[in-house]
Amino acid sequence: MHAIGSVVNSANENTEVIISDNSVTNSVKEMCRKHFSAIKYIKRNPPLASAEHFKVILDEASEDFLALFHDDDIMLPNYVAKMMSIIEGNPSAVAVGCNSLFFYDGEKYPFTLAHRFKFQISFKDEVSFFIQNLCDPRGIAPFPSYIYRTKFLSSSFVNLNHGGKYSDVSFLSKLLSLGEFIWIPDPLMLTRVHRGNDSGNISIPDKLKLIRYMIARGIEKKSTRIKRYKFEYWRIWFSDRGYADFSLRGAWRVRIVRKFLITFVFFRMTKFFYYQSLIQRIKSKFLFDSRLRELSELIEHYK
């Protein structure tokens, strides 16, 4: 109810608000009948899988611009006015994403920003967009913050083989072949963080699907960025599930993850310390030998 109310408060006379109810029960339907009877309401019956629900919404969109807002976040009052001014003022932009403040439902944590860019930035190709996601997965414009030019959207862009639960990244990347993304530093929404968030649960198979898609689209398979990305999510998975068994006879998956994490740590350490020192020694030796050889040749010449 808070999410719908916030969208209604941000809307203006040129905005149409549509509620797409994909829930199993009729509680949302009753709430809308009681509190939001003037708003267009669609009940998905039977309920669809999340990806199919997303595709249906994209196929049904008919206006020039579309914002897909999640059911547990809050849209701030100036979202529509600000985002429309940006996307209408940049004809090459296929989508605009804003900053967001994370707030923790029922917890006494301070608000934190989704990203800390001080100025408006843009992405014009898939690789730069992927690199940002690889380097700082929390330093991005949240998926529900985007507003799109509807004519560029296609339900065919939704493909769970390209990232599973993280296929929002591959979905966005496909739009970059049609134009640019703009991210603005203004926090125009609140992203609710609570124990029921599916985004808080790491799915390693889906992360690997997304990595394979990124590699297929031009990211170097053996790059340090890919290694760091894998390390971060294996570390989170291991901290959640692997600490329960430290024995050498633990589950095969835990042993594999432990080996990967240890290997990666040594890789980073040796890269910065041992190999860097070793390479400098080898370079200096070759340089010394080269100079010594040149001096010897010069002496022979003058003999």
- pLDDT tens digits, residue range 21-44? 999 999 999 999 999 999 999 999
Helix (H) / strand (E) element for 103: namely: strand 93-104
- Condensed to tens digits (0 to 9), the pLDDT of residues 161-180 reads 999 999 999 999 999 999 99
Instruction: Determine how β-strand 65-67 pairs with β-strand 147-149.
Output: antiparallel
* Residue 170 shares a structural domain with residue 250: no
pTM over 0.75: yes
* Residue 113 shares a structural domain with residue 236: no
Domain assignment present for 257:
yes
Number of structural domains, the chain? 2
Final residue before a domain boundary, out of 177, 205, 233: 205
Residue 181 CA: distances (Å) to CA of 55, 114, 126, 233: 21, 17, 10, 26
Q: How is residue 176 written in tokens? A: 């970059």
Question: Which pLDDT score is estimated for 153?
Answer: 96
* Residue 234 shares a structural domain with residue 173: no
* Residue 238 shares a structural domain with residue 180: no
User: Smallest Cα–Cα separation from 81: which of 14, 129, 178, 130?
Assistant: 14
* Residue 49 shares a structural domain with residue 136: yes
Helices (H), the chain: 2-10, 27-35, 50-60, 79-88, 126-135, 167-175, 204-216, 224-237, 252-269, 275-302
Helix (H) / strand (E) element for 20: namely: strand 18-21
- Sequence-ordered list of residues with C-beta below 8 angstroms from that of 229, at least 6 positions apart, any chain: 134, 137, 211
Domain assignment present for 302:
no
Q: Alpha-carbon distance 190 to 114, whole Å?
A: 10
Mean pLDDT on 144-173: 95
Final residue before a domain boundary, out of 168, 183, 205: 205
Domain assignment present for 211:
no
Name the residue range of residue 74's domain.
2-205
- Sequence-ordered list of residues with C-beta below 8 angstroms from that of 179, at least 6 positions apart, any chain: 92, 93, 94, 95, 149, 152
pLDDT over 70, % of the chain: 76
* Residue 143 shares a structural domain with residue 279: no
Question: Which pLDDT score is estimated for 290?
Answer: 53
* Residue 81 shares a structural domain with residue 145: yes
pLDDT band at 108 (very low <50, low <70, confident <90, very high): low
* Residue 101 shares a structural domain with residue 236: no
Final residue before a domain boundary, out of 205, 231, 248: 205
* Residue 173 shares a structural domain with residue 245: no
